[in-house]
A and B are shown apart, each in its own frame.
Chain A
Amino acid sequence: MHPSAGVSVRVLAPPTWRSAATWSQVARLGHYRDLLSTLSRHRINVRYKQSKLGALWAVLQPFTMMLVFTAVFARLVHVPSEGVPYALFAYAGLLPWTCFSSAVSNSTNSLVGHAQLVTKVFFPREILPLSYVIAAGVDLAIGAAVLVGLAIYYSVPLTAELWFVVPIVAVLGGYALACGLVLSAVQVRFRDVGVALPIALQLLMFASPVLYPLRVVPAQWRTLYLLNPLAGLIDGFRRSVLGMPVDGQALLVGAAVTMVALPLAYVAFKYADVTVADVI
């Protein structure tokens, strides 16, 4: 018997779609889980390393946005907020939105930003975008502290709907990862992505029910509107934390789109990944 039987043989060959779409890719990620946790921790440590306010920034970002939008949308134009105070309504939408947008914009730049590493060492590159998505999730948890404060202040009842938050955040992370994987790989070849992204995110925010309720979307546009998974996810997040019944249909569409998008994005990323060091 071959002495190395049991030790897996690694075959390094030109990229093919077939080799990109194997389970062993995901399994290998498991061997690097320590790297993933170290890098994710690193993201959080570094971000606040030389800032005095530290992790408070995770709260301040959605909180100041909430103040601005409350001033504009509640005082000036009177956007409906489904019976909850607009400040609370906006914060509950801005929290998942900030999580998504920082996850996508950071992970899009993750490969290009780590060119030194990518051209010097091998490791599964999807760890880079993934670590930013995880860091954004941690920010979401920190920002949720303010939400709890607001909920107590406005005496929002706790309901069983709150449990929906867990799968919703998981799907939100999955969708952010799918976007980050594709965009980071494209960004390596076309830096235009990095320039266009802030504009695209700005548009996407207004195309999602962050500052207004999902209910105000006209019925004839609703199906198209829901194809953006953020519609169901952000609306669902807000409803579940504010103790309102979630819109199951909207959530399911969002989850289904993510379930299709994430594996496709992963395979595309793995296909591009093997030669990323040549063009970065």
Chain B
Amino acid sequence: MTELEVTNVSKRYWLPKPIGSAVEPGGWARRAWSRVWPSYDAFWALRNVSFTVARGEAVGVIGPNGAGKSTLLKLLSEITAPTTGEIRLHGRLSALIEVGSGFHPELTGRENVFLSGSILGMRRAEIVAKLDQIIAFAGIGDFIDAPVKWYSSGMYVRLGFAIAAHLDPQILLVDEALAVGDEAFQRKCYERIAALRSAGKTIIFISHDLLSVERLCDRVILMQQGRIALDGPPSQVVAAYRRAVAAGAMFGDSAGQADRGVSVTGIRFCGRRGDVEIRTGFPFNVRVSYLASRPIDDVVIEVWYTTHGGAVLQCEQTTARSSDGLDLPAGAGGVEFCCEALGLQPGAYAVVARILARNGTLLHVFAAGSALIVEPGQASRGQFYMPYTWRRARRPAAIESARFAQESPDGLKV
């Protein structure tokens, strides 16, 4: 059953033309006139966007900044109207765009619960009934009867979210702006969203946090330049987006790559003894296949591991053992990087392979189509797994650590 239909929706904004870019023609009268009525350029934030959302579905919307995500949110929440097309909503919709919407600094927390709650669409009786719950959820103690202007930003956000968490919508729009505050607060946000989801509410989740999108959503829409670039299962869409981001932003533009005689054709991961499951602390192999259209000498093949946010974690390269380049004959081939104990903690990672000439000229970039999913293996705390053993020390600790420091250059494997 359809909950929400978006049909051919476009949104145009008018941006004032940059002033003073050139000396404006005409006399003073004309210049004065153009000050009063400046000319505008049309900017299409959304173009012909169509999709439907079924009841109970959780749909994530991702995409780079300026892709039209926020505009879409504003249209769905009726803050502004589309320029063309139409949106049909079949249920009560609530938008969590910013916690603390409609707070007034002079009023007390309690008064603001009524104000903000009713602005978010709650009935007064509903607020009265939920008031104690909201106050308990916020957990700000006696400050509830102090003016909001005396609140710390943390208290402000907690009260704001406490109100938002007690809305009872059929369709919930969640903006990434919600995910502010400390980790405990963020977890509270996501727990609440997950609870609404299991209660069968329809959720539209607009976020940059790809991991949460993948975890919370049944379906993901990727927006690019005001259009829907991809709409499908979370793993596929998120992976495609990661690929585009990783390849485009960090390792050069993969879309516009010229043919330089060689290209990476695939990346495959495998765990211990060909196991598909990849686990922390267990053997991990990655195989990079390439295709050379002609013999090509002195190249380097690299594999980069990054977080979904783009932070580089590790790089494997064929120059690790010796600094010699590889000579590739024409045709298909491959290299395999073998790791005895994978250091990455459980999670999803983006992987990019690239081939470079030894002088650093980029020949080809390839982002793995699916994320590298690492399952729990060797339990370890912290950022990464580090293989180690332990034993009871017989000699004084100071001597032991000095000896260890001497050994460390090749004693450590990460």
Interfacial residues, chain A to chain B (CB-CB below 8 A): 3-4, 7, 9-15, 32, 34-35, 37-39, 42, 45-46, 49-50, 116-123, 274-278
- The reply to whether B81 and A274 form a contact with Cβ atoms under 8 Å apart is yes
Which of A120, A122, A275 lies in contact with B98, CB distance below 8 A? A120
Known: A12-B75, A120-B97. Is A42-B80 also a contact (CB below 8 A)?
no
Known: A120-B79, A278-B80. Is A11-B119 also a contact (CB below 8 A)?
no
Given A12-B88, A13-B82, A34-B118, 16 new contacts (CB under 8 A)? A10-B89, A10-B90, A12-B86, A13-B81, A14-B81, A32-B121, A35-B118, A37-B124, A42-B115, A46-B104, A46-B106, A50-B106, A120-B79, A121-B77, A121-B119, A123-B119
- The reply to whether A39 and B115 form a contact with Cβ atoms under 8 Å apart is yes
CB-CB contacts of B123-139 with A at 8 A, as 1s and 0s? 11100000000000000
Residue of B nearest to A19 (CB): B81
Q: How far is the CA of A38 from the CA of B126 in the complex (A)?
A: 13
- The reply to whether B119 and A42 form a contact with Cβ atoms under 8 Å apart is no
Interfacial residues, chain B to chain A (CB-CB below 8 A): 1, 13, 74-91, 93, 95, 97-98, 101-102, 104, 106-107, 111, 114-115, 118-125
- The reply to whether B101 and A278 form a contact with Cβ atoms under 8 Å apart is no
- The reply to whether A11 and B121 form a contact with Cβ atoms under 8 Å apart is no
Q: How far is the CA of A50 from the CA of B149 in the complex (A)?
A: 13
A35: B residues at CB distance < 8 A: 118-119
- The reply to whether B119 and A4 form a contact with Cβ atoms under 8 Å apart is no
Q: How far is the CA of A277 from the CA of B79 in the complex (A)?
A: 7
Minimal beta-carbon separation of A44 from chain B (angstroms) = 12
A3: B residues at CB distance < 8 A: 1
Which of A9, A14, A32, A46 lies in contact with B82, CB distance below 8 A? A14
Known: A9-B88, A37-B124, A121-B95. Is A274-B80 also a contact (CB below 8 A)?
yes
Which of A32, A50, A122 lies in contact with B77, CB distance below 8 A? A122
Minimal beta-carbon separation of B125 from chain A (angstroms) = 8
Q: How far is the CA of A271 from the CA of B12 in the complex (A)?
A: 17
Known: A9-B90, A122-B95, A277-B74. Is A46-B1 also a contact (CB below 8 A)?
no
Residue of B nearest to A13 (CB): B86
B87: A residues at CB distance < 8 A: 11-13
Q: How far is the CA of A13 from the CA of B89 in the complex (A)?
A: 11
Q: How far is the CA of A277 from the CA of B107 in the complex (A)?
A: 25
- The reply to whether A123 and B114 form a contact with Cβ atoms under 8 Å apart is no
Q: How far is the CA of A9 from the CA of B91 in the complex (A)?
A: 7
12 contacts between A and B (CB under 8 A): A7-B91, A10-B78, A10-B90, A14-B81, A14-B84, A35-B119, A37-B124, A49-B107, A50-B106, A118-B79, A274-B80, A275-B81
- The reply to whether A121 and B80 form a contact with Cβ atoms under 8 Å apart is no
> Which 5 A-B residue pairings sit nearest by Cβ, starting from the closest?
A274-B81, A34-B124, A35-B118, A122-B78, A13-B86
Residue of B nearest to A4 (CB): B90
Q: How far is the CA of A15 from the CA of B83 in the complex (A)?
A: 8
- The reply to whether B88 and A11 form a contact with Cβ atoms under 8 Å apart is yes
B125: A residues at CB distance < 8 A: 34
Known: A10-B88, A34-B118, A39-B115. Is A117-B77 also a contact (CB below 8 A)?
no
- The reply to whether B119 and A15 form a contact with Cβ atoms under 8 Å apart is no
A37: B residues at CB distance < 8 A: 124
Q: How far is the CA of A37 from the CA of B115 in the complex (A)?
A: 10
Chain B CB count within 10 A is highest, among A42, A45, A119, for A42
Which of A42, A118, A278 lies in contact with B107, CB distance below 8 A? A42
Q: How far is the CA of A279 from the CA of B115 in the complex (A)?
A: 25
Q: How far is the CA of A56 from the CA of B79 in the complex (A)?
A: 38
- The reply to whether A34 and B123 form a contact with Cβ atoms under 8 Å apart is yes
A14: B residues at CB distance < 8 A: 81-85
A278: B residues at CB distance < 8 A: 13, 80
Chain B CB count within 10 A is highest, among A34, A49, A119, A276, for A34
Chain B CB count within 10 A is highest, among A11, A35, A37, A276, for A35
Residue of A nearest to B120 (CB): A121
Chain A CB count within 10 A is highest, among B78, B82, B119, for B119
Residue of B nearest to A278 (CB): B80
Residue of A nearest to B90 (CB): A4
Minimal beta-carbon separation of A168 from chain B (angstroms) = 30
- The reply to whether B91 and A42 form a contact with Cβ atoms under 8 Å apart is no
- The reply to whether A42 and B104 form a contact with Cβ atoms under 8 Å apart is yes
Q: How far is the CA of A9 from the CA of B87 in the complex (A)?
A: 10
B77: A residues at CB distance < 8 A: 121-122
A277: B residues at CB distance < 8 A: 74, 79-80
B76: A residues at CB distance < 8 A: 12
Q: How far is the CA of A50 from the CA of B88 in the complex (A)?
A: 45
Known: A38-B114, A122-B77, A277-B80. Is A117-B124 also a contact (CB below 8 A)?
no
- The reply to whether B79 and A119 form a contact with Cβ atoms under 8 Å apart is yes
- The reply to whether A12 and B111 form a contact with Cβ atoms under 8 Å apart is no
Which of B81, B88, B118 lies in contact with A15, CB distance below 8 A? B81
Known: A9-B89, A50-B106. Is A117-B80 also a contact (CB below 8 A)?
no
- The reply to whether A121 and B89 form a contact with Cβ atoms under 8 Å apart is no
Chain B CB count within 10 A is highest, among A3, A11, A118, A121, for A121
B107: A residues at CB distance < 8 A: 42, 45-46, 49
- The reply to whether A117 and B119 form a contact with Cβ atoms under 8 Å apart is yes
A15: B residues at CB distance < 8 A: 81
B86: A residues at CB distance < 8 A: 11-13
